[in-house]
Amino acid sequence: MGVFTGRTALVTGASRGIGRGIAERLGRDGARVAVHYGSNGAAARETVAAIEAAGGSAFAIRADLRAPGAARTLWEEFDRHADGLDVLVNNAGIGSTRPIEEISEEEYDAVFAVNVRAPFFILKHGMRRLRDGGRVVNISSGLARTAAMPDNMAYAMTKGALDVFSRDLSKILGARSITVNSVAPGIIDTDNTAELLHGSADGWKRAAALSALGGVGTPAEVADVVAFLASHDGRWVTGSWVDVTGGSLT
């Protein structure tokens, strides 16, 4: 019996990267996992297949989080497969933006739509589906609190907004014993960071030097922290910002 046996989880942006790592971990621990994706259905099906191959249960749902009404679309898809939710992980996000001198209004609007508007309205429409004692984990970023990186300003701004959302939502849902926390990864080895880590001879070395632990994180390492917060062991942690940067902020 896994720690999440009998529970249902939804992970947005779960077709690859950190989201896939979280979905696979929750599935391995017994949860039935809704694997959300925006456009890459093949990758989402691969995540579902990986969870099922490990003995878990999962299903894929699609919603373009940039679109108006995306949250309603997501829940309509979810309701076709499940009648309630225990763990919600808001992971989907646009991971970088151009400098202020170059970014367009369209790009700015898109990153805020996916990274801020979508989690807000997913919760607005999903609170009645979230069972008492449930868990909400929002995937933030070390950039929300680390030294300024002006070339990625708009992205960092979205994560700051998400952290406020976690803090304030914890006060709303706490009466139902639902915890809400932000998890903030640093540089994680995914396809989103491939150019940074592997695009030059010393990319990995420079990234690893930022961490007090002298390394680059993996999706599994972020997933372990999410799994703790989503478990019974994390029941007395809420409204918190959890640093999962490997000590990059120290």
155 is catalytic: yes
**pLDDT in the model for residue 64:** 98
- Beta partners for residue 157, in sequence order: none
Q: How many residues does the chain have?
A: 250
Q: Which residue has the higher pLDDT, 114 or 95?
A: 114
Within 13 A of 1's CA, how many CA atoms are on the CB side? 4
For domain 8-191+218-237, give the fold: Rossmann fold (3.40.50)
pLDDT tens for 110-136 read 999 999 999 999 999 999 999 999 999
According to the model, what pLDDT value does residue 187 have?
A: 84
Question: Residues 222-232: what's their mean pLDDT?
Answer: 98
Catalytic residue, chosen from 15, 159, 170, 211, is 159
Residue 106 burial by Cβ neighbours in a 10 Å radius (0-12, 13-18, 19+): exposed
Per-domain residue ranges of the chain:
8-191+218-237
CA distance 161 to 143: 12
Mean pLDDT of the region 55-66: 98
159 is catalytic: yes
Instruction: Decide if 89 contacts 36 (C-beta within 8 A).
Output: no
**Predicted local confidence at residue 148, as pLDDT:** 64
Angle between helices 105-112 and 153-173 (to 10 degrees): 30
The residues, ordered by sequence, that sit 6+ positions from 63 with a Cβ below 8 Å of its Cβ are: 36, 38, 70, 71, 73, 74, 77
140 annotated active-site = yes
Question: Catalytic residue among 57, 96, 104, 155, which?
Answer: 155
According to the model, what pLDDT value does residue 49 have? 98
> Which of these is catalytic: 15, 141, 170, 248?
141
Known catalytic residue at 211: no
Residue 107 pLDDT > 80: yes
Q: Is the pLDDT of residue 147 over 70?
A: no
| Candidates 140, 170, 182, 211; catalytic one | 140
